Amino acid sequence: RQRFPKAKILVLEKGMLPQGASTKNAGFACFGSLSEIIDDLKTHSEDDVIELIKKRVDGLKLLRETLGDKAIDYQNLGGYELFLESNEELYETCLKNQDLVNKLLQSVFKDNVFSLKDNSFNFKHIKSKYSFNQFEGQINTGKMMEALLSKAQKAGIKILNNCTVKQFDDDRNSVKIETDNLKFSTKNLLIATNGFASKLIEQAVKPARAQVLITKQIKGLHIKGTFHLDEGYYYFRNINNRILFGGGRNLDFKTEETSEFGETEVIQNKLEELLKTTILPNTNFEIDHSWSGIMGVGKQKKAIVKQLSNHVYCGVRLGGMGIAIGSLVGKELASLLE
């Protein structure tokens, strides 16, 4: 809208409410745990890793500037990475490389990102020290989407809900779009469906389902912050006095490579077990409800933002970092239009 103040802009939304990871995410305002960054350095150059993290930091800044911290309930409570007692090798690798990663990120943060902290939250079956990230925060996903929809509508952007795009055809002058309700033409088509992209276009992006649950209110909950466990395959945080807990995709990669929403017994049972044994070992809790979200992932972590044909563009493969880079990918996508 900023680039084309007089254009007619229409968002086609498959669901009754925004249906993708934008509303199904866990609300982590993060840019990569220590073990994730160390792992990325095995497959990406140092410059590429710095660039990836800088984009996430810039994207979070843009999101916060666009909607405001109050509107999205942004809280900078810090982030923690926990190491299982059984995973000595990962723990030692992170201890050994912490200074190196801090030096690498000096150009982005002008300060040390990672430090060590004692297990003050009394988690069980983990190493006595956490990796602490002073810059990590959390947002309220529902409030973010509400603020974004409100801003779009005030800017004269129309949103059609319950409208599924079946196919499109790009000719010289326009794009013909067929939905389950109607057909029409548009000057340009921008595809920003991330985890669902493979249903419309052929790009190197696959769906990856993430299952999440949330507890009922826990009286006197002392856990505050965002937490990563087992190389980031599990993640949890407080939402006021509840614990939101997600992950477990590594238990069954093949089944979770799907664009269908749903929960599986194997993953839900593991999440409950880890809550009981590791995260809330001496606390009574009840699960309030569970859901799933679909991420868009690939072999490379860089998002795909490009022109596909005369009038069709895409911004997909956000790699589980949609909160961090979504705004920036949107800006880059808009900048491709002439």
What is 13-32 written as a DSSP string? -SSSS--SHHHHS--EE-S-
pLDDT tens for each residue of 259-311: 999 999 999 999 999 999 999 998 999 999 999 999 999 998 899 999 999 99
Tell me the three state secondary structure of residue 37: helix
Going through 226-286 in order, the beta strands assigned E by DSSP cover 226-229, 234-239, 242-247
> Hey, what CATH topology would domain 206-297 get?
D-Amino Acid Oxidase; Chain A, domain 2 (3.30.9)
Long-range contacts of 115-122 (CB under 8 A, 24+ apart): 117/80, 121/222, 121/223, 122/281, 122/282
Instruction: Please give the CATH number for the structural domain made up of 1-67+138-188+319-338.
Output: 3.50.50.60
> Is residue 229 within 8 Å of residue 271, measured between CB atoms?
no
Q: Cα–chain-centroid distance for residue 209?
A: 12
- Asked whether 168 and 178 are in contact (CB, 8 A), the reply is yes
> Given a cut of 90, is residue 22 above it in pLDDT?
no
What average pLDDT score do residues 69-89 get?
96
* Stretch 220-246: mean pLDDT: 95
Q: What's the pTM?
A: 0.94
User: What tokens appear for 265 in the block?
Assistant: 């017994």
Cα–Cα distance list, 280 to 26, 100, 271 (Å): 19, 33, 12
Question: Are residues 294 and 20 in contact, defined by beta-carbon separation less than 8 angstroms?
Answer: yes
Domain spans in the chain, listed from the N-terminal domain onward: 1-67+138-188+319-338, 79-135, 206-297
Q: How sure is the predictor about 243, in pLDDT bands with cuts at 50, 70 and 90?
A: very high
Q: What is the pLDDT of residue 105?
A: 97
Which candidate, 88, 86, 95, places its Cα nearest to that of 34?
95
Q: Is the pLDDT of residue 21 over 90?
A: no
What average pLDDT does range 212-236 have in this prediction? 95
Contacts of 235 (CB under 8 A, 6+ apart): 26, 28, 226, 227, 228, 229, 245, 246, 247
Identity of residue 94: C
